[in-house]
Structure 1
Amino acid sequence: MARHEGLPDRSSSRFLDISRPGRPSSPPHKDMEFLRALKKDVVVAREQCYLRGLLQTTKWLSELLYCVRDVKLDEAIPSSYSYYDQLGDELDHYHLAKSYFDLKEYDRCAYFTEDCTTDLGKFLHLYSQYLSGEKKKNEDIVDPLVTNDQHKGAYLKDLHTELSKMYNQHTSAPESSEGEMDAWLLWLYGVVLKRLDLTRQAVEVLCQALHLEPLHWGAWLELAALITDREMLSTLKLPDHWMRKLFLAHTYLELQLNDEALEIYTGLQEAGLSHSTYIMAQVAITHHNQREVDQAVAIFNELESLDPFRLNNLDTYSNLLYVKEMRVELSHLAHRVVQVDKYRVETCCVIGNYYSLRSQHEKAVQYFQRALRLNPHYLAAWTLMGHEYMEMKNTSAAIQCYRQAIDVNRRDYRAWYGLGQTYEILKLPAYCLYYFKQAQKLRPNDSRMLVALGESYEKLEKTEEAKKCFLKAHSVGDIEGIALMRLAKLYSRLGEGEQAAVLYERYLQETEDADRCEDRGQVYQFLTSHYLQKNMLDLAYDYAQKCTLFMETRESGKTMLREIANRRQHIEQNTQDDCGSVLVSRVRPRVSHGGDRSAATRLPPLNLTYTPLMQTKASKKATKCPFVVFFRLSLFHPSITLSSWFRHFIDTSVYLVGKVKVSCLLN
């Protein structure tokens, strides 16, 4: 990727510090120098894209230019007629071919530009050939789930042969006019390389194209689709231009680096692009990825008020309404997009979500299939159709949809996660582990991925790895609130009751404000059994009472309450028996009927005579320390327990004190 280092660079580094990650937030004022340079650049780039039929980039640049319509320029902008002058004798050929191109008659456009020698004519010829091949391939698709590779590669190989010959001449003799290859032809060559899965070469060629023309947003998007991780992004040789920030924000969003993307978009809005509908939609998608649903819905509502006929990103908006189960709003959105354009992929996706929320999964699949006929590379339709097939228990079709989604974009964590769930239904935990790992790599701080990964480890009897996953899921912020429950169940299954009890009590503390659920009933049931085994009857009684609040654990709670009552009654009965036997043996020693006992087995007679005034020092010590008396008695009578003796000592002391009071009153 070092070939483009010596290429002339039309970009500028004046605006490199716009919204740099990590910089302090600037006050919300417009940067007029930045806005004037942006407007001047965008006006020229929009004309060039329109001349070449790059309609999506033309629309994107026009929307950006509309945000700075009030900015006044100090100098005049070059007219588009200067580009027409370069065509010379090919001007009539160009106008004829461009009219066919605008009407999507790509073969006729390619035929009438076959002999063109200018860069504009050659680009229109090759680009129309590429679009013609794509159109024919899409028209041959009967069933989106059935891949048809009949036409794949035929037109791409021809284009690759012709463009690679031009590229080799360009690299060997870059100063020659015959071998010169402009930024637009380099972009087309990069697209062909990407479609042929020649990723490394495609990245290199696209970087060269961006150095020659940094305002081509389509080239930035093609390059962003090839970035696999942050390390790869940091190694790219990108032009120092304000468009670079938009590219970085878009790529960060694709890599699920939402905080970095939001910081860049916020900086651009503060610089003067606050009314850009594109940036507003990207900020809403960022909040969607961060599960900040209310903020994302509010931004989409604001977008609707600014541009009520805008259909871009409404598939994401419909997902938000689906998650919040806002049936009325989703129904209103579906009717609105149908009135705007019923043959847009976003419209089909919105209607599919509407039917899915109504549990009409067959109709939802029909609309997702319609979206894929319009655009086979529409990622959202593949993923959502996989979800619908999961609801319909059609696991084979769901697997195929998720695999197609991964082929479109390997960074789509929803497709990896869906594959893991599908194989979990099929009871193939080894496959689940692989796919959940891929999803967790894309979303390292998503507790749902970690919990799913921990469950797969648990099924494979890898308990230590499962414990780590559950603990991390709880530490990063448990979205579903089940990580502690899964970890406690794992400890319980391993026979580590103490750790399980601690985790269950922690789970009860964290879900105290939540609504009553059956999980809490199961927790109460476990804690009741645990403390019942440890003979801690008071705690067991409290948890058993709470078990009766839940339908699932009500009967078991009543059973354990009866068990606790029986144990308490048995303990009280044993206590009374022990106390009574000690008192009887002290007041009326039993007479042996089986022969004389040895002196060591007989209890000596107790002297219970009370002498309140005539006490010796030894008697005072004995009175102050009843445990000495107990110790001496226990040597000769092992059946005497400490509790029974202490209770007897208190009763006797009360009796003697009362006797002293009575005698004093009598005297």
Structure 2
Amino acid sequence: MFLHYMARYLSMHNESIYERTNIFDSYKPLNMRKFMELLDELLILNVYGSEDDSEEESEDEPQSQAPQPQASQSQVSQPPTLLLSEQTLKYLIKCTSTESVQQQEDYTTPKGRRCSRRSRSQRIEKATLTIGKKNSKVTKRNNTTKKVKVSSMSTTQSEINTLSVDYKESRNKREDPYLLWLTAVMLKKVDRCDEAVDLLVRAIRLQPCYWGAWIELSTMIKDMKMFDVLNRRLTLNNEYHWMHLLFIAHVLIEFQIIDRAVKIYNEILNSGHDAFQSWPYLHSQLAIAHHNKRGKNEISYSILSFSNIIKLDPYRIDNFDLLSNLMYVCDNREEIVVLSKHVASIDRYRQETLCVLGNMYSLKCDHNKSVLYFKKAVRMNPFNVTAWTLLGHEYIEMKNSYAAIVSYRQALKINIRDYRAWYGLGQIYELIKLPNYALFYFAHARELRPRDFRMLLALGEMFERTDRIYEALACYYKALHYDIDGTILFKLAKHYDKFGDNSNQTTREYFNALNKKAMKTAMKNKSDIELNLILSKIYLYLGHHNMDTQHYDKAISLAEKCRNLCIEMEESTSHCLEVLEHVSALINEVEARTGSDNNPGSTPGAKARRFLFAL
């Protein structure tokens, strides 16, 4: 039965995909009549049962069976195989309390699950009001249904409760988790997400190992509050099913809560069954988690994890589009060529293969071919967020702003939590010199990636363009903890150079007030000593920068400022003593350069740079 309905759904789904002529046209609407018929059939099947199953299966019974006697109007016969809800039962009791049931028109129903050709109200009306005409036929499917007999005048509330409990028990025995999942998928397409979530929860309770239902449920989670509510609904006796743990980790990765997700995966690998050690899915999820962290060590660990997956399963190419992204970021031209040949030899028409080929041609600066492969990937699967986002990146390289905006917006329609699409839209509006629009998109990207210094840096630059110095400084100070290459320190140094030293007294005082307020806003729960330490490192970095640009007088003055801040702090602290050592080294280096022009000396060592970035 599930395969029958799944085939009908896939035929309509493919029809909506492959009829599109232009990739940037909106999806052609489904044939809503057929779609709603199929949805109506599934809802009737899951909620009320199938009224045609008994007729269809009874055709196989021998014709020589003795006919059942007709029931009188004053006595209600056994109900059909239709499963009745509590509301329907109450209506049934109300109808049977009268002297007689009016004869209703007998609707002709084609055999074999075609109940959607009649309206839903007609089906329910037939099920409730024609019971006196039709005897139920016990088959293999309805032999678990309780036979209900209700007297005409002696109905009580306890009987109603008994009937509803019997209905729920029999419904749970008959429910199919795969049909519940398919019904939820179709309800999601018509924006009835609350009903879809309820059906998915029922499907998971019936079959906890059905991963398709878990994944579909994860796409409907809007925020962490909804996630906590679903966790309570899915938890049985305060215990987590092992598939539930995988679901929690998957959602945490979607919400960029990487550390908790990695902890769950490591616990499963260390404490779980031995089969988990060689399960490629777990290693793939760990690689994705480290990919999302975007640090240098994490990127190398992620590439190593994907290499181990190839050894575990040479024919698995799931998520290899992310591996090609990592190779693209690291500029590994030879490795990405080897990867493209490997995945193309397995399946050239998989969407992951097309994304790998697109990244390879993009790294070779052949953007036209890259766009061609990303378009093919999108045609293969219009719901591939990665392909839409990469397509937008290529259009930015080709200076096609309109097509890039369309691609990013299509990615956000599929997954509104994709920070790359938000960041890409901000970049486009930054390029076309609309900073207020870019602020909106960068702010959304920063909410999704609060610990990514690139988002904070982009947001600070947009605040700086709109002359909002206080907000820009707050963004730079927040990003200072995650800076790995000195970019944020250089931005702050430029602000100090522009407003702190080379300006009049009024501007300097105003900037100092804004700077102190921004530091306290960004660095919450920090003491004055810690704030002065950060400020001293900024002065020290600016002194090194001025020494490198041969502005030795500025370098000496900044070194003196840094020394005065350290004197104000407690000199006994180890950090303060280390700062004073680097200040003395800076002054000696400047004096050595100014004393001998022929021997300018060497640039500041790596030790000083590491000290500055260790904030």
Shared fold by TM > 0.5? yes
Give the corresponding residue for 1:276: 279
Note if 1:286 corresponds to 2:289. Answer: yes
The verdict on how the C-alpha distance between 1:342 and 1:365 changes in structure 2, with shifts beyond 3 A counting, is: same
For structure 2, the 5+ residue unaligned runs are 49-82, 87-166, 503-507, 516-531, 562-586, 599-615
SS at match of 1:151: coil
CA offset at residue 368 of structure 1? 0.4
Structure 1 position 238 matched with structure 2 position 241: no
Give the conservation status (yes or no) of the 8 Å contact 2:461–2:472. Answer: yes
Equivalent in 473, 476, 483 of residue 478 of structure 1? 483
Deviation at 1:545, TM superposition (A): 6.3
> Where do residues 537-548 of structure 1 align in structure 2 (5 Å cutoff)?
none
Q: TM-score, normalised by structure 1?
A: 0.58
Contact 1:525 1:543 in 2 (8 A): no
CA contact (8 A) 2:489 2:541 kept: no
- Aligned partner of 2:255 in structure 1 is 255
Contact preservation (8 Å) 1:532, 1:540: no
C-alpha contact 2:540 2:558 (8 A) present in aligned 1 = no
**Partners of 2:377 and 2:9 in 1: how far apart?**
22
Query: In the alignment, what sits opposite 2:187?
Result: 193
2:215 is aligned, of 221, 243, 248, to 221
SS of residue paired to 2:168: coil
Shift of 1:473: 0.3
Say which of 485, 489, 501 aligns to 2:494: 489
* CA-CA distance at 1:324 after TM superposition: 1.2
Matches within 5 A, 1:460-475: 460-475=466-481
**How far apart, CA to CA, are the structure 2 residues paired with 1:454 and 1:543?**
37
* DSSP 3-state at the match of 1:309: coil
Query: What letter corresponds to residue 258 of structure 1 in structure 2?
Result: I
Write the distance in 2 (CA, Å) between the matches of 1:177 and 1:531.
82
Tell me the residue number matched to 1:440. 446
1:428 maps to which residue? 434
Whether 1:212 aligns to 2:206 is yes
Deviation at 1:509, TM superposition (A): 5.6
Contact 2:542 2:558 in 1 (8 A): no
On the 8 A contact 2:490/2:542 being kept in 1, the answer is: no
Q: Which residue of 2 aligns with 1:29?
A: none
Q: After superposition, what is the alpha-carbon deviation per residue over 1:191-248, rounded to whole angstroms, capped at 9, x for unaligned?
A: 1122223222222221121112111100000011112332221111114421100111
Residue aligned with 2:285, SS? helix
Asked whether the equivalents of residues 392 and 405 of structure 2 are also in contact (C-alpha less than 8 Å), the reply is yes
Match of 2:5 in 1: 126
Paired letter, 2:289: T
Partner of 1:506: 537
Higher relative contact order (CA 8 A, sep 6+): 1
User: Is 2:298 aligned against 1:419?
Assistant: no
Q: Partners of 1:508 and 1:223 in 2: how far apart?
A: 51
Cα separation, partners in 2 of 1:393 and 1:480, compared to 1, 3 Å? farther
The alpha carbon displacement at 1:471 in A equals: 0.2
Cα distance in 2 for residues equivalent to 1:250 and 1:534: 49
Q: Is the 8 A contact 1:353 1:364 kept in 2?
A: yes
Cα distance, 1:308–1:445 mapped onto 2, change above 3 Å: same
Q: Is the 8 A contact 2:354 2:373 kept in 1?
A: yes
* Aligned residue pairs, count: 419
Q: 2:189 corresponds to which letter in structure 1?
A: R
1:338 aligns with: 344
Which residue pairs with 2:353 in the alignment? 347
Give the Å deviation of 1:531.
6.3
Distance in 2 between residues matched to 1:333 and 1:136, nearest whole Å: 33
| In the alignment, structure 1 residue 164 sits paired with structure 2 residue 43 | yes
2:14 to 132, 135, 140: 135
* Whole-angstrom distance in 1 between the partners of 2:37 and 2:495: 59
Q: CA RMSD in A?
A: 3.4
SS of match in other structure, 2:349: coil
Q: Provide the C-alpha distance between the structure 2 equivalents of 1:241 and 1:178, rounded to a whole number of angstroms.
A: 20
Whichever residue aligns with residue 185 of structure 2, its letter is: V
Change beyond 3 A, Cα 1:274–1:178: closer
Residue identity matched to 2:258: N
Q: Which residue of 1 aligns with 2:605?
A: none
Whole-Å Cα distance in 2 between the matches of residues 333 and 479 of structure 1?
29
1-structure distance, mates of 2:315, 2:29: 38
Q: Distance in 2 between matches of 1:297 and 1:178?
A: 46
Shift of 1:268: 1.1
Once the two structures are superposed, residues 538-593 of structure 1 have per-residue CA deviations (whole angstroms, 9 ceiling, x without a partner) of 899769969x99xxxxxxxxxxxxxxxxxxxxxxxxxxxxxxxxxxxxxxxxxxxx
In structure 1, the gaps of 5 or more residues are 1-120, 513-518, 550-667
Classify 1:495/1:332 alpha carbon distance in 2 versus 1 (closer, same or farther; 3 Å): same
Does the 8 Å contact 2:539/2:558 carry over to 1? no
Kindly indicate whether the alpha-carbon contact (under 8 Å) linking 1:141 and 1:373 is maintained by their aligned counterparts in 2. no
Q: Rg: which structure is higher?
A: 1
Contact 2:546 2:555 in 1 (8 A): no
| Closer, same or farther: CA 543–255 of 1 in aligned 2, 3 Å | farther
From the superposition, tell whether residues 245 and 507 of structure 1 become closer, same or farther in structure 2 (CA, over 3 Å).
same
Note the alpha carbon deviations across 1:75-103, whole angstroms, 9 max, x for none: xxxxxxxxxxxxxxxxxxxxxxxxxxxxx
Report SS of the residue matched to 1:274. Answer: helix
Cα gap change, 1:143 to 1:507, in 2 (>3 Å): farther
Q: Which amino acid aligns with 2:10?
A: L
1:318 aligns with 2:303: no
SS in 2 for 1:367: helix
Contact persistence 1:221–1:247 (CA under 8 A): yes
Q: Per-residue deviation at 1:356? A: 0.7
Contact 2:542 2:555 in 1 (8 A): no
TM-score (norm 2): 0.62
Q: 1:248 aligns to what SS in structure 2?
A: helix
Shift of 1:314: 0.9
Secondary structure at the counterpart of residue 278 of structure 2: coil
The CA distance in 1 between the partners of 2:301 and 2:551, in whole Å, is 40
- 1:494 to 1:313, Cα distance in 2 relative to 1, 3 A: same
Change (3 A) 1:533 1:181: closer
**Structure 1 532/176 Cα, relative in aligned 2: closer, same or farther at 3 Å?**
closer
Asked if 1 retains the 8 angstrom alpha-carbon contact of 2:361 and 2:369, the reply is yes
Identify if the C-alpha distance between structure 1 residues 489 and 393 changes in structure 2 by more than 3 Å, giving closer, same or farther: same
For residues 352 and 473 of structure 1, the distance between their equivalents in structure 2, rounded to whole angstroms, comes to 32
Residue 545 to residue 310, structure 1, CA distance change in 2 (3 Å): farther
Report the CA distance shift for 1:338/1:242 in structure 2 as closer, same or farther (over 3 A).
Answer: same
Deviation of 1:138 after TM superposition, in Å, equals 1.2
Deviation by residue 1:228-281 (Cα, 9 ceiling, x = unmatched):
332221111114421100111111111111111111111111123111011011
Deviation at 1:523, TM superposition (A): 7.3
Deviation at 1:343, TM superposition (A): 0.5
Q: Deviations over 1:309-343 (max 9, x none)?
A: 21111111111111111111111111111111111
Question: For residues 421 and 335 of structure 1, what CA distance do their matches in structure 2 show?
Answer: 32
Q: For 1:427 and 1:388, how far apart are their aligned partners in 2?
A: 20
Counterpart position of 2:147: none
2:459, 2:472 within 8 Å by CA — same for their partners in 1?
Answer: yes
2:367 corresponds, among 361, 364, 367, to: 361
Q: Tell me how far apart the structure 2 counterparts of residues 373 and 491 of structure 1 sit (CA, whole Å).
A: 51
Q: Is the 8 A contact 1:524 1:543 kept in 2?
A: no
Q: 1:306 aligns with which of 296, 309, 312?
A: 312
